[in-house]
Structure 1
């Protein structure tokens, strides 16, 4: 898949003169609803023999229009993960608009003219609730007025999974509540975090359960406090693991939040290594134990439950 950066407020699109199907959206999480939009675009593109392109933004609309802090805003799928997911779901080209404050002055008509028509879109596909300006003015019900006969627009209806609306907001809330199993169902892929393994307080090693502490990449949503069955990717290999997100409440109050993984059947020095954690299953909440032995006993149960989860997961 080709990834192309577009400047704002006036992009250079002169090189893109090939007719294409253009899918519009921010696609945070690239969840099942987004996948339905992409699949619709893919089917139309295949029918016409055109490339399937997606037009998105580097920054969330909350950052662009509502003053959210670019440095601290958290995403379900930062641009690196979003790019990988777009390739996975069959996109040929990903156009990424990089904005500054000047983009706020781009009108809805200018957006259509400069970006959509500028990329020679013949058919535009977007979710039913997509907007490209004021919600009551520039939406999928009014887009034909802005198209002025230059392209056809297709709106994709909402998607539900197990009678639950599929949306980025709903998935974000599930993750923050620790409900990764349900969030993964709505995503249609297993949520993950990336980062670097850093030194911790070494308490896990003292308890017989050494942990890899992940300094999560900034701008990624981290699941809520709890203990999870996870997969840990480091040095090109996956390891089943149990991961704690919490404050180490058994030992000291008011500790900073940490993400600590005990890799099952692994013993090695991976400090400083880039790594990824995939959040498969919620095991339990964080508990303050009255003694270190109480915590050790619970960790043994967590390890057993994690092994059981992955053993059953791999069975037909």
Structure 2
């Protein structure tokens, strides 16, 4: 096997002996277990595992490993995925007018904090092109014109498919994606919402937060689904505010929270720390990778 670090994500109905069965399987194939993280949802009787393996010294192919694991998985009703860590995920960023999340992500990727390749920035406006060019990232300007939104989406989808994009980041991309778009990339679109969901959904959340006199503001990063702003939540953050904050002040404070929340959610996705089940994201903590 070419890759050295292998990550399996598993969820299934809870049952006795699952840990022993899974770990014994990997031991029998010559893997060294680096970490094994577990969570049991006792309400829904569901078991979740993230297991990282060192494949050094094994002589099993990927195809053989997956076929052998399937023999274990099928009788136990596993939902599972495997990542071999042998290539960096290919990422696209979608933006509109606002630059803070875009700049932050490009800087983090350049510094090595996000282990991926950012292949393109796509926007319905041309305003943020200089930021992409600063980091030598191709910038595609695809405007949304009246009556032609569907055509614009088709062009975006083609770009993403042609470049074999693994993850799409909506870094304040102020367009509602169609069901066709979302279903083309299930659990591969991460959106940042500039409020603390489920409060203040939709547009102008800071104005409405000001009008309500909130004492906490925040941001939510989630997978995009057909239900607007209701996809599985990956990460959230909050910041205390006071009565003398204006909508402008709230927006500035919120931008800082958005940067941190979005970056953390993306990092969790890139490091295969997330299992989605029943519109809920189980997010395992970092385990020293």
Give yes or no for TM over 0.5. Answer: no
TM-score, normalization by structure 1? 0.29
The structure with the largest alpha-carbon Rg is 1
- Which structure would you say has the larger RCO, counting Cα contacts within 8 Å and 6 or more residues apart? 1
Q: TM-score, normalised on structure 2?
A: 0.31
